[in-house]
Structure formats: structure tokens, C-alpha cells
């Protein structure tokens, strides 16, 4: 104890000087002071000399001063995560995570049981997601070097991020990082919308880059702190002895294995951090908390884009997303299109009951559909949704007729999607063949008082929102006959497929989904003409037209001079060769 006191007394002044250097405005000075303090604190931390003794009689003023200096140092590093200079943000992150590792390893070895200093890591997570200067450098460093490599860091990040977001949305904002944090005092005033949006954007930028989420328990094997079942286990460790080993940053203790009771449980039981269900639970909690935050339209769309591939497969209970996806599907516009994939995944793989699914899908077919950015994605899904041969013929006929009607006002690159899709649907549902040609009876003039009924009247009700009541099955696809005279030869040729017998195989829709005006134009201009293009319908006897009185050269010269003096050019009619 005497040696410890002497060591603390000798270094107290040096620590104070270095801590004061952290207040300097020069990033270079701060950088040097950060690493100088790091080299000084690491030996003390690894030997446990910064731990708070359990007994008051064992406390030494100098040692406690060093401990306070260390806490102040950690607080400053957390603040530097929000610094405008990336050259200070990244080193601060690396130092904080190194300190987390050293502290946790010491406490694990001392207690004889797995110990993750989660309170220390909570401060790091808070510094990352509640950050106004969360730039690409800091994001890349954390994601590539730590988060996507180590299962324990990913596990506790998801757990802590969910807690921080819930505090911000329910009762308060995350604790100010200028002082030590206490588990009992993590509430404060509610964040304003700007800060909530900032919290959402930062958290989502990390979550969307997740590439290491395990799908099997055997994949949980990489740990920053060390494996949760160390070889050396002190079986005599009791709950009372554990109180001696506390997270330095927290007066309440920072152990998290998810519960202190885990120490006293049988060593044969699999720790929660090694259980796939635990990882899925914290993943679900984090995403469900994030989806409650206000978000920009662009972020909303990004979340829906990755919903079926990166979110739903890893959720503990995917049906928890039902309300979110249902509201998105009912929002209309591009949001509805993007929500389709996730919603269909819940219906198809998780038995979600959505009785109005096809009715809502039918109403998404409007004149704006062919101009949206996600058009290709939408029609891939439509082809999948209408693939079942057990769908009612009236429902399928309504979709076919709706697409046929929209083809009249669609751009060419939209029409080349609709025609193959309609052809495939008719082949798949032969009962809809009656739509191709349906002659109308024309009453005689005498039957109708000398008036012929309007033969162009279509029984299909375009404005009917329910596809089962649109009367499409009584109509015909006269719109496709119109497209056979389209100005673009490719479209006209494609529409003529309905004149032939239906003995051709179905189209591969992928060949048509990615066309644009640019690709159609390139296809037309790259064609090699079989004949020389005609420049006139009659072969002329001259290069340029001239005046009728070609023999009167004096008159032509006079007219030319007159026009020239008047500075008037009258086409080419006065030129002669």
C-alpha cells in the first residue's frame, strides 16, 4: 500500500499537467496528451490499481485522486468522439476500446467469471450515435475494425443503442458525457426533433452496414474481450466478492453478463452472449427502437429497401414489424412500393394475414407508376404475387385490364414491361383468354329509334378501387390493339404478339425491366439498316430548289442583290449552280 501511495504522489502532478493539455485548442497538443495519458494509465489499469476498494479503510487519497484523473480522462475521450477534427475522433475511439479491453480482462481474471465493462462501452456507444460530427472516418473505423469483426461489441452495441434511443424517445435524453454515468440516473429532458433525427441517422448508418450478424450459434466465436467461458474459473467466487470488482466509470457497477445472477448459475449453462436467440433479441430491440424515431424520407426508403434482406431474417419475432410495414404500405406512392417486399415476406414466410393485400396492390397501379425510380423492383414483385394459379379469374383479369389501360399513357420503356407481363399472365391463367377478342353486338337503327349504341363503351370501371368489382372480365384488351400502331417499332412489334397463337413460351421479364429512354434510343441507333434510308418520296433532279424562271438569270441576279441589300435570306430558293 505504501508503494502505491508513493507512486500516486509522484505522478499526480504529471497527470494534472497532461489533463490540462486536453483543454488545449491545438489538435496536435491534444493528440500527444491523449497518448501520453494512455501510456501512463494502462499499467495502472492492468494491475487493478485504479479499482475502487470495497472497504473504506483501504481507500487512499492519492490513489483515489488517480482514479478520478482516469475517470476525467475517459470523459474527455468520450467528448472527443464529437470533435470536429477526425484526427482526434478516431484515436479517441481506439483508445477507449483498448481501455475497455484492458479493464474487462482484468475484472474477468480477478472475479473468475466473464466480465464485460458495459458501462464503459455504453459511454462509447452514446458518443457515437449521439454525435453531431459523426463523419465517414469515424464510421468506417468503428464498423470495419470493430463492429463487424467482434460478436461481443456488436451484441452490446445493439443492446446499448436500444436503451439510449428508448430513453431519448420515452422520458429523456442520454446522460451528459462530461461526468461519470450512473445506471440509476440515465434520464433527463426530452431531446428535440433535430437531435432525435441526428440520433436516428447515426444509428441507422451503422446498422445498415451490418455484415456479420450470425445465423447459427457456431458463428459466434470472435470476441474483443475474450471468450465468455475462460479456462481459469474461480469456482469459489460468490456474489459478495463480485462487488469488489466494479466498472471504474460507474459507481453502481458495470458488469453485464446480462445479469449478476449469471455468476452464481451453473457454469455448464450457455452464457447469453453465446446464444443466437440473445443476439437476435438485441437486434430486434434496437431496430424496433430505431423505427420509432422521426426520420427523413430518404432514410425511410433506405430502411424499406433493406427490410426483407437485412432486417426480417435476423428478427427474433419478425411479426413485430407488421404494424410498421402495414402503415408504410398504406402510405401511398414510392413508400408503398418499397414496403411491398417486406410485407410479402411476412405474409409468405411468417403467415401474416393481410386480407386487403391485393386490393391495395391493385390501387398502386396509377399513371405515376411507370415514372417512379423503383419501377423495376415493383414489377418483379407483381409477377411473383400473381404467379399463383389459384387466384380468382376476376382478380387477375382486373390486373391485366388495369395494366392494359395504363399502357396508353406510359412511356415506351414502361410499355415494354407491361406487354410481356400481360402475355405471361394470360398464359398462366387461360380463363383470361376471352379478353383478347370480344366482339360487341351493334343494335340496328330501328331497334334503337334510328340511333346506334356507342360501340366504344368499355364495361371496365377504371376508377373502381376493388378489383373484384371492376367488371374487367367483361371487357377486352383493345388498348393492346392500339399499341400495334405505336410510333416506336419495337413497341408495335411487341404488341403484335397477341395476334398470334399462344404457343410461344412465356417472356423472361428480367429482359425488359431495366429499359429506359436511353437504352431504347441506343438500341435504335445501333441497328444496321438493311436498306439505305429514303430522303424523299420522289427522286429530285437537283440538289437545292431554285426559282421557276431558271432561264432569266438577270432577274435572279437582281432579286439576289435586292435581298442581299435588305439583309434578308429567303431560304435556298434564290441559289443556283
Average pLDDT, the chain: 80
If pLDDT is split at 50, 70 and 90, which confidence band does 423 have?
A: very high
Cβ atoms of 133 and 82 closer than 8 Å: yes
Q: How many C-beta neighbours within 10 Å does residue 324 have? A: 19
Angle at 496 between CA 410 and CA 373, to 5 degrees: 25
Which residues, including other chains, have CB under 8 Å from residue 411's CB and lie 6 or more apart? 370, 371, 517
User: Which of 80-89, 111-120, 280-289 shows the lowest mean pLDDT across its residues?
Assistant: 111-120
Residues 6+ positions from 61 with CB-CB distance below 8 Å: none
Residue 255 pairs in a beta bridge with 117
Give the per-residue pLDDT at 3: 53
CA gap 191, 193 in Å, rounded: 7
- pLDDT for the residue numbered 122: 95
Task: Say whether pLDDT at 323 is over 70.
Answer: yes
pLDDT for position 241: 37
Q: What is the pLDDT of residues 544-558, one digit of tens each?
A: 665 555 555 566 566
* pLDDT, position 535: 75
Q: How far is CA 309 from CA 208, 312, 504, in A?
A: 11, 7, 35
Per-residue pLDDT averaged across 132-159, rounded?
Answer: 94
Query: Which grid coordinates are listed for 59?
Result: 481507500
Residues 50-85: pLDDT tens digits? 776 655 545 567 677 888 889 999 999 999 999 999
Closest CA to 110 of 245, 201, 312: 245
| CA–CA separation, 139 and 303 (whole Å) | 18
pLDDT tens, residue by residue, 117-142:
999 999 999 999 999 999 999 999 99
pLDDT tens digits, residue range 458-514? 889 999 999 999 999 999 999 999 999 999 988 999 999 988 888 888 899 888 888
The pLDDT-based confidence of 373 (bands split at 50, 70, 90) is confident
Q: What is the pLDDT of residue 11?
A: 57
Indicate the pTM of the whole model.
0.77
Specify the pLDDT at position 258: 47
**Residue 567 confidence class, pLDDT cut points 50, 70, 90:** low
DSSP string covering 238-251:
-HHHHTTS--TT-T
Question: Residue 100 pLDDT > 90, yes or no?
Answer: yes
Instruction: Report the alpha-carbon distance of residue 448 to residue 469 in Å, rounded.
Output: 29
Specify the higher pLDDT residue, 68 or 536: 68
Distances in whole angstroms, Cα of residue 230 to Cα of each of 108, 267, 437, 556: 8, 11, 77, 108
**What pLDDT sits at residue 557?**
65
More confident residue, 54 or 259: 54
Cα distance between residue 12 and residue 69, in whole Å: 9
Q: CA 40 to CA 30: how far, in whole Å?
A: 15
Instruction: Provide the pLDDT for residue 534.
Output: 75
Q: Based on the number of CB atoms within 10 Å of its own CB, is 218 exposed (0-12), middle (13-18) or buried (19 or more)?
A: exposed
How far apart (Å, rounded) are the C-alpha atoms in residues 252 and 322?
Answer: 38
Query: Residue 232: which pLDDT band, with cuts at 50, 70 and 90?
Result: very low
Residue 34 has, within 13 A of its CA and on its CB side, a CA count of 28
pLDDT number for residue 103: 92
Please give the share of the chain, as a percent, with pLDDT higher than 70.
76
pLDDT value at residue 251: 42
Q: Are 274 and 220 in contact (CB under 8 A)?
A: yes
Instruction: Return d(Cα 325, Cα 163) in angstroms, integer.
Output: 23
Q: In the numeric block, which cell numbers belong to residue 539?
A: 427522286
451 or 12: which leads in pLDDT: 12
Q: Which residues of 401-432 are buried (b: 16+ CB within 10 A; e: fewer)?
A: bbbbbbbeebebbbbbbbbbbbbbbbbbbeeb
Tell me which of 277 and 112 has the higher pLDDT. Answer: 277
The domain locations on the chain are 355-442+456-527, 536-577
Q: Which residues pair with 117 in a beta bridge?
A: 255
Nearest 5°: the CA angle 518, 521, 524 is: 150
Query: Is 74:123 a contact under the CB 8 Å cutoff?
Result: yes
Per-residue confidence (pLDDT) for residue 183, from 0 to 100: 46
Task: Give the residue from 100, 160, 101 showing the smallest Cα distance to 129.
Answer: 160
- Grid cell, residue 248, equals 471504474
Residue 187 pLDDT level (bands cut at 50, 70, 90): very low
Task: Tell me what pLDDT residue 492 has.
Answer: 92
Quote the DSSP letter at residue 72.
H
The pLDDT score that the predictor gives to residue 264 is: 43
Is residue 566 scored above 70 in pLDDT?
A: no
37: pLDDT strictly greater than 70: yes
Q: What is the pLDDT of residue 93?
A: 95
Distances (CA, A) of 171 to 190, 204, 286, 486: 6, 21, 17, 62
What's the rounded Cα separation, in Å, for the pair 85 and 119?
26
Backbone angles phi, psi at 418, to 5 degrees: -65, -45
Rounded CA separation 67/41 (Å)? 10
Share of the chain above pLDDT 90, in %: 43
User: CB under 8 Å to 96, separation ≥6 — which residues?
Assistant: 74, 77, 78, 81, 120, 123, 124, 127
In the prediction, which pLDDT does 97 show? Answer: 95
Pick the more confident residue, 120 or 235: 120
Give 39-48 pLDDT, tens digit per residue.
Answer: 989 998 888 8
Alpha-carbon distances, residue 525 vs 294, 528, 529, 534 (angstroms): 48, 8, 10, 16
pLDDT band at 172 (very low <50, low <70, confident <90, very high): very low
User: pLDDT at position 530, please?
Assistant: 81
Mean of pLDDT values over 385-405:
92
Amino acid at each position: 500500500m505504501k508503494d502505491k501511495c508513493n507512486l500516486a504522489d509522484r505522478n499526480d502532478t504529471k497527470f494534472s499537467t497532461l489533463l490540462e493539455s486536453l483543454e488545449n485548442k491545438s489538435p496536435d497538443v491534444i493528440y500527444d496528451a491523449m497518448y501520453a495519458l494512455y501510456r501512463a494509465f494502462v499499467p495502472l489499469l492492468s494491475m487493478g490499481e485504479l479499482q475502487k476498494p470495497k472497504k473504506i479503510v483501504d481507500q487512499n487519497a492519492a490513489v483515489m485522486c488517480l482514479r478520478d484523473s482516469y475517470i476525467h480522462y475517459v470523459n474527455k475521450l468520450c467528448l472527443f468522439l464529437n470533435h470536429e477534427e477526425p484526427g482526434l475522433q478516431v484515436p479517441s475511439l481506439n483508445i477507449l476500446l483498448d481501455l475497455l479491453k484492458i479493464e474487462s480482462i482484468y475484472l474477468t481474471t480477478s472475479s473468475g467469471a466473464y466480465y464485460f465493462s458495459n458501462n464503459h462501452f455504453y459511454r462509447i456507444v452514446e458518443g457515437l450515435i449521439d454525435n453531431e460530427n459523426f463523419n465517414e472516418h469515424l464510421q468506417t473505423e468503428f464498423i470495419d475494425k470493430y463492429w463487424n469483426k467482434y460478436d461481443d461489441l456488436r451484441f452490446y452495441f445493439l443492446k446499448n443503442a436500444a436503451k439510449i434511443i428508448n430513453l431519448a424517445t420515452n422520458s429523456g435524453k442520454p446522460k451528459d458525457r462530461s461526468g461519470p454515468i450512473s445506471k440509476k440516473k440515465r434520464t433527463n429532458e426530452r431531446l428535440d426533433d433535430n437531435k432525435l433525427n441526428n440520433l436516428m441517422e447515426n444509428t441507422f448508418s451503422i446498422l445498415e452496414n451490418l455484415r456479420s450478424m450470425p445465423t447459427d450459434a457456431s458463428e459466434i466465436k470472435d470476441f474483443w474481450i475474450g471468450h465468455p467461458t475462460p479456462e481459469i474459473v474461480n469456482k469459489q467466487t460468490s456474489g459478495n466478492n463480485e462487488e469488489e470488482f466494479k466498472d471504474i466509470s460507474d459507481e453502481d457497477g458495470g458488469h453485464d453478463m446480462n445479469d449478476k445472477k449469471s455468476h452464481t448459475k451453473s457454469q455448464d449453462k450457455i452464457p447469453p452472449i453465446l446464444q443466437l436467440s440473445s443476439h437476435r433479441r438485441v437486434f430486434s430491440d434496437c431496430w424496433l427502437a430505431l423505427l420509432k424515431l422521426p426520420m427523413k424520407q430518404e432514410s425511410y426508403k433506405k430502411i424499406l429497401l433493406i427490410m426483407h434482406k437485412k432486417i426480417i431474417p435476423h428478427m427474433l419475432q419478425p411479426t413485430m414489424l407488421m404494424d410498421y410495414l402495414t402503415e408504410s404500405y398504406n402510405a401511398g406512392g414510392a413508400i408503398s412500393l418499397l414496403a411491398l417486399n417486406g410485407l410479402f415476406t411476412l405474409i409468405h414466410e411468417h403467415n401474416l394475414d393481410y386480407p386487403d393485400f391485393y386490393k391495395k396492390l391493385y390501387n398502386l397501379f396509377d399513371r405515376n407508376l411507370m415514372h417512379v425510380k423503383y419501377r423495376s423492383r415493383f414489377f418483379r414483385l407483381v409477377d411473383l404475387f400473381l404467379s399463383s394459379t389459384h387466384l380468382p379469374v376476376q382478380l387477375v383479369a382486373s390486373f391485366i385490364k388495369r395494366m392494359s389501360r395504363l399502357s396508353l399513357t406510359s412511356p415506351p420503356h414502361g410499355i415494354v414491361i407491361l406487354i410481356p407481363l400481360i402475355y405471361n399472365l394470360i398464359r398462366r391463367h387461360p380463363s383470361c383468354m376471352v379478353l383478347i377478342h370480344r366482339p360487341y353486338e351493334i343494335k340496328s337503327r330501328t331497334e334503337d329509334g334510328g340511333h346506334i349504341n356507342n360501340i366504344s363503351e368499355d364495361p371496365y370501371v377504371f376508377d373502381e378501387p376493388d378489383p373484384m368489382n371492376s367488371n374487367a372480365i367483361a371487357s377486352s384488351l383493345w388498348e393492346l390493339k392500339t399499341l400495334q400502331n405505336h410510333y416506336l417499332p419495337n413497341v408495335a412489334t411487341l404488341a403484335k404478339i397477341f395476334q398470334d397463337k399462344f404457343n410461344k413460351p412465356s417472356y423472361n421479364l428480367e429482359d425488359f425491366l431495366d429499359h429506359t429512354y436511353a437504352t431504347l434510343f441506343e438500341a435504335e441507333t445501333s441497328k444496321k439498316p438493311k436498306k439505305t434510308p429514303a430522303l424523299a418520296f420522289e427522286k429530285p433532279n437537283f440538289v437545292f430548289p431554285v426559282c421557276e424562271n431558271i432561264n432569266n438569270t438577270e432577274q435572279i441576279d437582281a432579286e439576289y442583290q435586292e435581298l442581299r441589300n435588305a439583309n434578308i435570306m429567303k431560304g435556298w430558293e434564290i441559289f443556283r449552280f
